[in-house]
Amino acid sequence: MPIAPRQALFEAGDAAPELPVCDHYAGVEPRMRKSLEMQAEMGPVFDVTLDCEDGAPIGGEVEHAHRIAELVASPLNRHGRVGARLHPVRHAAFGLEADIVLRHCGQRLAYLMLPKVHGLADLQRGCDEIDRLSSLHGLPRPVPLHVLIETHGALAEVAAIAAHPRVESLSFGLMDFVSAHRGAIPQSAMSATGQFEHPLVVRAKLKISAACHAHAKTPSHSVVTEFRQLDLLEAVAEKAARSFGFTRMWSIHPDQIRTIVDAFAPSAAEVDQAVCILLAAQAAQWAPISHPPGAAAALHDRASYRYFWHVLELAHRTGQPLPEEAQRAFFDGGRA
């Protein structure tokens, strides 16, 4: 019986959560419904985060949370990849929103996003309240937590936040991070190109990405506000993935989703190489092999097998077509 890659290549707890590469935010009801319809059509290649924080009018937080809970619990949530962003832990609406969504759709929630945490203590406070409410409402599993790193305190404690056992992803909140510097970082650092040029912004991105990889969590890159310029978005997404180590990115407009998914997907040549090496490795019971045949052969062992497995998983998560042999060997019951 062939040994599956996850059994052969990873110790327990080593592998990061298999999250879609795109996280699409929507807070206005027509756009929330449109996003869920798109996800139902395209498949779970992107998550949908329904937004309590920026979607609710001031004074209408409770009604908006009920609306979000109805959508998460509805048949529109076909793939089970819908989460919700709450108000910050210190906001008066946080407990009300958490109670509403956990009571009415807790079993269907993919995750809850906690914005504007000021450090590990805020995260733990929010986690404790969410767990209390989950127990109160009889939820059978803890809801995974995503955290927005957009304050000085959160960045200072980013490694501890990434290490928290309930966290599966950290996102960079570019706009609030720049604003938190009280004008010391120019507005240009919020732009598609400027966010890769200002040293303080670059430092924040690298710290978040490194902390996530150190603790097997998913780093999620910030938004591109120039939502109609898809060439700019593509360049940002490719740089975030190839140069900064991010494995996920926010979308704030439906037109951005496909561009982000495609930019994070491996190329056909990368997929073909990964398939050849992994099939040969599995046939060799994961012992070292040389590939390709001939004078250009290079030695591969479990260290490089792990890399190529990540490539193949990424292709699968982004909906890339795989050869039938690889699909059967690694994904149709061959992953355990």
pLDDT tens-place string over residues 24-82: 999 999 999 999 999 999 999 999 999 999 988 899 999 999 999 999 999 999 999 99
pLDDT at residue 3 in the model: 83
For residues 169 and 14, give the distance between their C-alpha atoms in angstroms, rounded to a whole number.
15
For residues 280 and 246, give the distance between their C-alpha atoms in angstroms, rounded to a whole number.
29
Q: Are 17 and 169 in contact (CB under 8 A)?
A: yes
Q: Are 322 and 312 in contact (CB under 8 A)?
A: yes
pLDDT at residue 334 in the model: 52
pLDDT at residue 292 in the model: 84
pTM for the complete prediction?
Answer: 0.92
The two counts, helices (H) then strands (E), for the chain are: 14, 10
Q: How many CA atoms lie within 13 A of 328 on its CB side?
A: 3
The total number of residues written for the chain in this structure: 336
Helical H runs in the chain?
A: 5-9, 29-42, 61-73, 94-105, 120-136, 152-156, 158-163, 174-179, 199-214, 230-242, 254-264, 268-283, 302-317, 324-330
Instruction: List, for the chain, all residue ranges whose pLDDT scores fall below the cut of 50.
Output: 336
pLDDT at residue 333 in the model: 62
What amino acid is encoded at 102 in this protein?
Answer: L
Q: What is the pLDDT of residues 246-259, one digit of tens each?
A: 999 999 999 999 99
Q: Which residue from 4, 1, 12 is spatially nearest to 281, judged by alpha carbons?
A: 4
pLDDT at residue 336 in the model: 44
